[in-house]
Structure 1
Amino acid sequence: MILPVPEGARAVRLGNDATIRQLLGVTRKKTYSITFSAARTCAQAEKLNMSAGPESGVLPIQTVYTSSGWGSYSYAFRARHSTVWLTIHNPGVEEDPACGPLIDLVAIKTLSPPRREKGNMLRNGDFEEGPFIFPGTAWGALVPPLGEDDVSPLPGWMVMSGTKAVKYVDAAHHAVPRGARAVEMEVPTAPGRWYRLSFVGDAGDGCAEPLGVEAYAARAAARVLYESRGTGGSRRASLEFAAAANATRVVFQSLNHHVKPEGMLCGPVLDDVALVSVRRRAARRLLA
């Protein structure tokens, strides 16, 4: 069996019930993200147990998002002590001893508290703060759903999908409308007050087909459609809504299931999200 290695000439294969671990020095109460690249070998339902101290998560790697078979996965934790054991464990038991996921390119990054830019009520609305992306890799970093990771690698945002369908990407390999990085958030609001949510839907990851993003806030919804050629470009849309509670959940969702010509999954890129308070007389639903 010959498999490509993303970086260098070596990688680690985790056999049945195998574990690798390393002791890390960290700062108490700080939040960290771990990014590592992995590929499956034989099994269609391989998964990894990821842990850092008492926190742990199960990361399925059966879905392939790249033509090479490799993908980068992110995991986040909040340090409780000054040292922590980082552990990657293969819980699978395969009949073929040559099977087992491959691991390469492991990195740790300190995450800054989510911040708000002036004039924007959302934290990390431009997605500039997130997990480490390995230079030279074109596949970004997959962000796990909330059920698999209590601390999000994407500060301020929660991923509410059933699978790892949210990918954190960089401007070096994708068309990112704003900044260098390009997905549910809850934001404080005043009941009865009107707000405007704006965002950019972009398609620069090779998806040459109609792409769509739908946004929800309170009882309002808006869709932005973009006829993509897979080479980049974007379309801005906005949604105005009246808050019904002291906190409003802002949700973005891909409208369809998209596949590149070579069979890899893909989808629209979301960036430059902003939420501002507006006067009632100017409130109306807008779709750019």
Structure 2
Amino acid sequence: MAFWLPSSSNHSWRLPEILLFLLLVSTGVTSREFLKNADFESPPSNLPENSNKTSVALYKNNTIPGWTFQGAVEYITADQTKNISLPDKGHAILLGEDGKINQTFTADADILTYLLTFALVPGGHNCSLTAPLQISAPDTDALFSFSQHYGKEPWEVHGVYLGSWGDREFVNLEILSQSNDSTPTCWPAVDSLHIKTMGIVMPDGDNLVVNGGFEYGPDFLESSEEGILLDSAPTPFFSPLIQWAILGKVRYINSKHFFVPQGNAAVELVSGVSSGVQAATKLQAGSSYTLSFTLGDANDSCKATFLVGAQAGLTSRNFTLESNGTGSAAKFNMTFTAGPDVNTITLLSYTTSQTKDGDFCGPVIDDVILRVSHGLRVSVPWKSLIPVCLITIVCFF
């Protein structure tokens, strides 16, 4: 495997930039578009030019570039006069009864993790109940629906783990509506799909928690300022937040639109009591470890007393932060003795908070670090994780 770096005669490269480049290469992060017409801005065939309709039902003589469809499917257009708001440039697909769209894409040659970001839009006015939307791929089946309000935008952005594939295999992505027991007031619409791939995420120095800064997760959409909602993922192996299980619902936030204590990303525990994140790590039984993390607010007008429970090994403690909702943070830590086998690290919200506008919000968690106590350094088997040529480049610089 060969790696290319720009010539020093054309670029002035500093060590942090080189290390960031190497980290991106070693984790295999890519954001190229795997899906055709992922924002539905290429209209269906047989659509009349200059059509002023906000909704066009599709039939067998229509086609959507890049997609196939079945059942009740409509191509909808944003129209402020009719209170139809959509991300991106203003088109989406509404899935009515038994409505389904699907597209097959080709995976990369290397085995990578595939994460999907998409916008879920209520397909009607004053929707009190929206039929669930199902995302299906060979390794996942997930349902999404509007249940609570988490921001000012009329749509929600969600992230989901799709699966891990390679060897140029074909992957079929299906998006379909699901009828529920009661008659829905609205059917769901979908827009702005984006797939991100990611390789192995490595430990950061002597931090025993992988992805402790939450920098590795689904891509944020340029068309949204409300972050990404991540639904419950009981195991870190099938989670859109790399190496973290998700309890309840959390919001993945970035520093562009929120206050993030460290780095570019963090998680906000928004679904109230028992929402949180959980990691697992192999520790030496009977040894002493220190867990530290940053607790804050996202600068989203979430004014509350946050109570967060931290559990590490067999030790549990509660931590409190008074939030005025304008962006604040404090560091906390606890020392514990490791139990046998795998030890879990859990950070859990014990409060339910809302802004004055009624949006659900909560404490921000960031910069989770687990180290051996008393300044002892843990030896990380880097050579088994990083290609030898990468180590050579780092040493050269």
> Normalization by structure 1: what TM-score?
0.89
| 8 A contact 2:129–2:186 mirrored in 1 | no
Q: How does 1:73-92 map to 2 (within 5 A)?
A: 73-76=158-161, 77-79=163-165, 82-92=169-179
Q: Does residue 258 of the first structure (1) align with residue 353 of the second (2)?
A: yes
How far apart, CA to CA, are the structure 1 residues paired with 2:368 and 2:134? 33
Unaligned runs of 5+ residues in structure 2 are 1-81, 267-276, 376-397
Match for residue 256 of structure 2 among 134, 148, 172: 172
Q: Which amino acid aligns with 2:149?
A: V
Check 1:54–1:277 CA distance in 2 against 1; reply closer, same or farther (3 A cut). Answer: closer
Deviations 1:23-60 (A, max 9, x none): 11212631110010102343525311111225322223
After TM superposition, list the pairs within 5 Å mapping 1:86-165 onto structure 2: 86-92=173-179, 99-147=186-234, 151-161=238-248, 165=249
| Residue aligned with 1:11, SS | strand
Quote how far apart the aligned CAs of 1:229 are: 1.4
Deviation at 1:137, TM superposition (A): 1.4
- Aligned CA distance change for structure 1 residues 158 and 54 (closer, same or farther; 3 Å): closer
Q: Report the equivalent of 1:67.
A: 152
Distance 1:148 1:239 in 2: 24
Residues 231, 246 of structure 2: 8 Å contact kept: yes
**CA shift for structure 1 position 64:** 2.4
Distance 1:277 1:79, change over 3 A: same
How does 1:228-239 map onto structure 2 within 5 Å?
A: 228-239=323-334
Instruction: Return the alpha-carbon distance in structure 2 between the equivalents of residues 238 and 131 of structure 1.
Output: 28
Q: Give 1:232's aligned amino acid.
A: G
Looking at structure 2, the residues matched to 194 and 249 of structure 1 have their Cα atoms a distance apart, in angstroms, of 15
RMSD value, Cα: 2.2
Structure 1 runs of 4+ aligned residues shifted over 6 Å read none
**Structure 1 alignment gaps of length 5 or more:** 281-288
Deviations 1:222-254 (A, max 9, x none): 222221111101011001100111210000111
Separation (CA, whole Å) in 2 of partners of 1:31 and 1:150: 10
Check conservation: 2:118, 2:191, Cα contact below 8 A.
Answer: yes
Contact 1:202 1:270 in 2 (8 A): yes
For the Cα contact (< 8 Å) 2:310–2:347, is it kept in 1? yes
Could you tell me which amino acid in structure 2 is paired with residue 170 of structure 1?
N
CA distance in structure 2 between the partners assigned to 1:152 and 1:232 by the alignment: 27
Deviation of the 1:160 alpha carbon = 2.5
Q: Distance in 1 between matches of 2:94 and 2:362?
A: 30
Equivalent pair of 1:209/1:227 in contact (CA under 8 Å): yes
1:145 Cα offset (Å): 1.1
Q: Distance in 1 between the 2:234 and 2:210 partners? A: 21
Q: Which residue of 2 aligns with 1:285?
A: none
Indicate yes or no: 2:115 matched with 1:33.
yes
Bigger Cα displacement from structure 2, 232-241 vs 55-64: 55-64
User: How far apart in 1 are the matches of 2:189 and 2:361?
Assistant: 23
The question of 1:181 aligning with 2:250 is answered: no
| Secondary structure in 2 matching 1:244 | coil
Q: 1:67 Cα deviation (Å)?
A: 2.5
- For residues 188 and 243 of structure 2, the distance between their equivalents in structure 1, rounded to whole angstroms, comes to 31
3-state SS of 1:127 partner: coil
Q: Indicate if the aligned counterparts of 1:113 and 1:155 stay in contact, CA closer than 8 A.
A: no
TM-score w.r.t. the length of structure 2 is: 0.65
* Contact 1:116/1:122, CA 8 A, preserved across alignment: yes
Say which structure, 1 or 2, has more relative contact order (CA 8 Å, 6+ apart): 1
Q: Which residue of 2 aligns with 1:200?
A: 294
The residue identity in structure 2 corresponding to 1:15 is G
Q: Secondary structure at the match of 2:245?
A: coil
Q: Is the 8 A contact 1:201 1:270 kept in 2?
A: yes
Question: What amino acid is aligned across from residue 151 of structure 1 in structure 2?
Answer: F
Percent identity reads 27
Could you say if the C-alpha distance between residues 240 and 150 of structure 1 is closer, same or farther in structure 2, counting changes exceeding 3 Å? closer
Q: Displacement, 1:271?
A: 0.4
Residue aligned with 1:12, SS = strand
